[in-house]
């Protein structure tokens, strides 16, 4: 398993989804399927800390205005379009539209989701809802 589970059922589903997504890239054949149905694009990494989930997607050659990110319920969707090279003599890099959806393991504060695009890497920060964050409980001595 490429992603460790987070200790509860929805998180295990998230880890399973990420493993499946990585698996499609690592096994080979789906990587070269032409068109929007091509599995494994964009390639993703995902991780979490106590405050947020993070998803990185490799989208080289995709312009900022050609990307769309949506969060609806427990799903994150990345959509985009990579243009074909003009007057190409040879073209091996895939081009066209893509859409990738993953199920998220915890409730989010969707109004605070943030995304940046730097050097062809899209990073989406998904803050966890307060109800999904670990909270330290103070232990009080019993009254006598």
Q: How confident is the model at residue 15 (pLDDT cuts 50, 70, 90)?
A: low
Q: From the CA atom positions of the chain, what is the Rg in Å?
A: 19
22 touches 28 (CB < 8 A): no
pLDDT (tens digit, 9 = 90+) per residue, 2-11?
444 444 556 6
Q: Is the pLDDT of residue 34 over 80?
A: no
Q: Which residues of 101-140 are buried (b: 16+ CB within 10 A; e: fewer)?
A: ebebbbebeeeebeeeeeeeebebebbbeeebeeeeeeee
Tens-place pLDDT, residues 94-142 = 888 999 999 999 999 989 999 999 999 999 999 999 888 888 889 999 9
CB 124 within 8 A of CB 77: no
Q: Which residues pair with 46 in a beta bridge?
A: 55
Instruction: Yes or no: say if 120 and 58 are a contact pair by the CB < 8 Å rule.
Output: yes
In sequence order, the 6+-apart residues with CB closer than 8 A to the CB of 75 are: 101, 102, 103, 104
Q: What is the pLDDT of residue 10?
A: 63
54-101 pLDDT, tens digit each: 999 999 989 999 999 999 988 999 999 988 888 888 888 888 899 999
| CATH class belonging to 9-132 | mainly beta
103 and 13 in contact (C-beta within 8 Å)?
Answer: yes
């Amino acid at each position: 398993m490429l992603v460790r589970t987070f200790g509860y059922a929805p998180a295990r589903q998230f880890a399973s989804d990420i493993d499946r997504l990585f698996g499609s890239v690592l096994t080979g054949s789906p990587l070269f399927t032409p068109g929007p149905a091509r599995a494994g694009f964009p390639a993703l990494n995902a991780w979490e800390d106590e405050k947020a989930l993070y998803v990185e997607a490799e989208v080289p050659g995709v312009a900022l205005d050609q990307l769309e990110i949506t969060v609806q319920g427990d799903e994150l969707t990345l959509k985009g379009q990579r243009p074909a090279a003009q007057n190409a003599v040879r073209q091996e890099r895939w081009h066209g539209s893509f859409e990738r959806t993953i199920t998220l393991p915890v409730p989010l504060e969707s109004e605070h989701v943030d995304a940046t695009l730097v050097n062809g890497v899209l990073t989406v920060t998904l803050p966890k809802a307060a109800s999904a964050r670990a909270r330290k409980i103070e232990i009080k001595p019993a009254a006598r």
